[in-house]
Amino acid sequence: MKRYQAAIIGYGNIGRFLVEAIETAPDFQLAGVVRRPESVQKSSAQLKGVPVVTALSELDAVDVAFLALPSRLVPKAAAEVLAMGINTVDSYDLHGELVNYRRQLDPVAKAHQTTAVISAGWDPGTDSMIRSILQFMAP
């Protein structure tokens, strides 16, 4: 079975849980974690033996980057990562901007033959779909 090399960009609450999820997934391997320069030296027992870098380009052969960043930083980061030929997954949650965000990433992903999974999770994600269905049913 192929093991996809995954990087995590950001190491807040979501980043920490992503480390756990990737380590338990049989088809993923954690290639490394990208953190702010001032945070790289701060050690975490969870990251023992995991490459911690300041730029995604410092990691080898990454297939997918999970963007565990504040939503306002995600569009720029996603476009940069997609342009590197790396697939992305994010949980972008600025509901009023989702359509524009998708329109922004679509040409970048197509140009670099990558995939951008946007707004994955509960909210946005499945909660957003259910909210829309309920608004349709009972406006």
pLDDT tens per residue across span 93-116: 887 788 899 999 999 999 999 999
Kind and range of the H or E run holding 110: helix 98-111
Provide the Cα torsion 31, 119, 104, 109; round to 10°: 40
| Beta-bridge partner residues of 33 | 8, 52
Structure confidence at residue 135 as a pLDDT band (50, 70, 90) = confident
pTM here?
0.87
C-alpha 62/C-alpha 90 separation (Å) is: 16
pLDDT (tens digit per residue) in 14-37: 999 999 999 999 999 999 999 998
| Cα–chain center distance at 44 | 20
Residues found in the chain: 139
Helix (H) or strand (E) holding 75: helix 74-83
